[in-house]
Structure formats: structure tokens, C-alpha cells
Structure 1
């Protein structure tokens, strides 16, 4: 796992619209975070406030993310107004995204944090994961209480992630990963079975089952969202893997940072052992290692692969 990326997820028993509107109001951070408190409204989407991991006031800025099938926002933080070095993408998935025709109510919340290793203190490295985990639990509690619940509600799915650093230009990564015809190179459990286009194609998995793969890409201005859908027609089963491709220069607020972060989000039904598609998170991780190897070689950065899965600033 990429050690500068900190993801956290939970199921929240409230509507997608309610969760989105609540998160879009920065002053609501006062209710559920560990003492991030909004003190002064600067503009429509920016507040000046305190923070739990910085011994300094911070500017908090919000940007909305629009996608066809789910919603999202970004929080940005910085010591100077309009000069933000911290970025926190948040995605909100309705249950119907995970499982078409699902009758489950609620929303799946996924929060990603990036911390520049040049700026990260020892306390931040040790605390960010546990603090965000507790804050996520607090957010869930506040929204579920507002929806009339008196105890934590369990969802049908859990989310898991696979994150890796790739030392190649983001444009190269987007071009390569959005072309279905390249899947046969990096997905060792799938073999092409017939003609295909750049956005869709048919494969055969390790059990000889037919898999129809489609890929869509969304330009989110500073980075990309890649949707990879793997559909098994004989079983009416779909496995989805939305993936963020984020330039390190944007994720870490450092114009000199090269390459990009690939962050894959996966969904697993509670209490069930999958029998089709990827059966474990390690299947995704193995693919990502292969993607890193191939793209870094194309970019002429073969020496980076030996340094591991995480971004490291160059000397």
C-alpha cells in the first residue's frame, strides 16, 4: 500500500442527497471532526479555522465533484488563502452503484487523504489514520442520528482499497489504462477472447468464464476518475472498480513531485465469499504492480520500480 495515502470508508444510513448537502457545508466540520473548527467565513466555499494536527490556523476550501452515477467533494487546506497544500477527495456511492437494482438505502462514504512526505511530521504520520477513522465514525453517528437512528447501522458491503505510486506522466497512465485492449497485458487473470474497442471488450477468466469489460473516464479537472466494470453475463454479476488517477504534484501540493497515484476502490459483500471476479484484494494489488512496472518502463523510469510502492521525493 502507498504509505502517503490514507483512505477510510464507512456505510451511512442516510440518503445520498442528505450526506452530500451536509458535507458541502464546511461549518458542519464543527460537529464531527477532532477539533477542526470553522471560525470565520471567507467566501462562499472557504472558511478560516483551527485544525487537530496542525498547531496553526488553516484555510478550508470546498470543491464539488460531479459524476453521472455518484457524487463527491474535495476539501482543501492551507495556511495561506487560496494556497492549498492538502487535498481530501470524498466519494459518495449509492448502493445501486455497488449492486444494480439494490434495495438497500443509505450511502457508502469514501474519504482519501494525501500527505506530502516532505511536510509530514512524526505526529501526523502516526495520528492521521486513527484520527480520520474516529472522525469517520463520528460523521456516521451524526448523520444516522439525524435520520432517526439510535445506534450504528451496518451496511451490506465493506470497501477496501489498493493504492500504488507510478513514476510516469499522468497522461501516459490515462491513455494506457482507458484502453481495454491493454488489459491483456496487465490483468493476469483475464485473456482476450474476441475483437474489442478501446472502451469495451470480452475476456475469459481463469475459470473459463466470459467477462465483459467496459471502461469510462471522467476528467475531474486536476485528476481523473476511471470506472472499470467487469460483468459476468452467465451469472448476472458485476464487479466495479472506480479508480482515481491523481498527479503527485496535486495530491501533495508540490509542483516538483513526479508521477501519479493510482487509487482503486473495491466493494465486498459482508458475510459472502466471492466466487466470480477478483476474490481478494491481493488480486487487485498484483495487477497494480504489473501496471506500475509496464508504465514506468514506457516512461523510461525503470529504476523507480525497485524503490517500492510508495512515492519518495527525489534527492
Structure 2
């Protein structure tokens, strides 16, 4: 385990040694600074997990030091200690970005408790950051390659819509990367640690598709030997990506509409409602407006799905991205086949 580094700042030598000696005995890696200026020099040179600073010092107040430290590192943890324990100074410290506030004379047991609180918070923040970075490395937007205007606008829309709860309709021809966009939205959203469940609506007949979506009870139909959860239930708390949603039959469209409106459904063979919290991401290569006019797609479902629409351009409309794609796939397949290939011949 890496040592927890603390910078202690106080212009009173006795107080500085008292706190510094106590923290060293507790196993913390402690650096002492008898002035704000010296503390700033140390902070610029060394990464610290926590700064403990006196408020009233001759060369620089603790609040001024706090402001300077946060200008260097905005998320720095700082505890302000002062003999002037008024409400006003406490409020000023917290408004200035202090993590916590202690009054002199310092209770060393209380100090240890406050430090452990900071340590635990930093541990949680670090763990969440590592998890999010791992997820983003696994499903990052740069997996969708492009730098033309249409693709840059698509990337901007993905970043804007991902943090929301909005239903997203992803449209584009086959092979344009609709599933990659759905992954990018999910893994950049607050639901990133929950499941992303996928289902191709064109891959199954209607009878099986209903069971796949909503699940079934034992004995609901021939071959239903046990209760089975559907994709909506499995995706609870996360996202459900329904590809080729334009191929849904009208009866299933009605059932999907109910889930979007009421956030509940019944398994096949049951009348007991099941509530779910699922974000829907849908995709299609079909002309939904033409299906509407032909009476093959419900207009109420269309408007429920069409909250945010992302249109993926085909490669023929983004020819300037061809060199990027060529270089990308050359690198991928060269590494896969353990070949050294510098580039394409002219």
C-alpha cells in the first residue's frame, strides 16, 4: 500500500512539531512547513494526499494558501486548523473549498478520525475513477473512427446525450456502426457499471421474441420448462439495446410502448406486473416514416423512440475518413498476424 502523504503547515514551531510527531507515529508520511510560501514550494514539488494548514499565519493565511493550492490542484484535500474557531471562519474555509475544519486546541483523536475520513473518500474516488477508466478503455468512442464534420457532430451528440436518461434512436445503414454508438452511450453514462443487454429484433420469430423481451413463466408454452427472465428484466438498472426495431410486429410494438410509458410489463404466462428501470437504446436501418405511412409502425411508439436521433452516415458520404480507416485496420491486422507493415504503397 502506498504511504498517505500529509503536508502540515503552521508558523508556530511547537504546534507544528506536535502534530507532525503525532502523524508520524500513526504511520503517515509527513512533511512540515513553517510558512505558506514554503508549503507551496513543497506542494509544487511533491504530490500530497492531504494538507493540514493553520489559518492565521504571518506570511500567508490558511485561506490564501487553500486558494493557491486549489489553483494548482483543484481536487486537493485541505483541512484548515485555527484557534479562531468562529462560525464565520469555518464558513469561509468551506466556501473556499476546504475539505474540513478543526479548531485549536487540536484533539489528536479527532484529527486522526478526520484524516481517515479524507483517506476513505480518496480511496472511493480513486476506485471509481479506475473503474470508469477501465470501462472507457474497453468501450471508448475512438473505436468509432472518423474526423469528417458528420462524425465530429456525432461524437459531440454522443457526449451530450450519454449522461442523460433520454431514449436514443440510432439510424443508419447496415455496417455503419450503430451497435458501437450504443456501447459508447452506455459506457459514458451513469449506468456504465450496470449491464448493457442487446437484442436483434430481426433475428427471432415473433413468438420467441416476446419471450426474449419479457421472459416467461414455467409452462407458459410448449418447451417452457422453467421460469426465465427476459432482456428487460436482466437489463434492470442498465441499458437495453434493441437493434432493428423497425422489424417489430405491431402487437410487440404495443407491448414495448407500454414498457416505455409505465416502466412495467408481465412475463409471458403471468399477470403479475414487473417494474424495471431501463434506458432504451434502439437502432434501425429501415425508413420508419415510410413504415408509419404504410401502417406498419405505430406513431405513438415512433414519437416515444424518437426523443434523440443519431444519424450515422455511410462510408460513401465520408470519403475523407478512408485514410484513417485504412491505417487503423492495417495496424489491427498487422498486430493480429504479427507482421511489420509500414503503410500502403502508392
TM range (shorter): under 0.3
Task: Looking at secondary structure, tell me which structure has more strand per residue.
Answer: 1
Larger radius of gyration: 2
Task: Looking at secondary structure, tell me which structure has more helix per residue.
Answer: 2
TM-score after normalising by structure 2: 0.19
TM-score after normalising by structure 1: 0.20
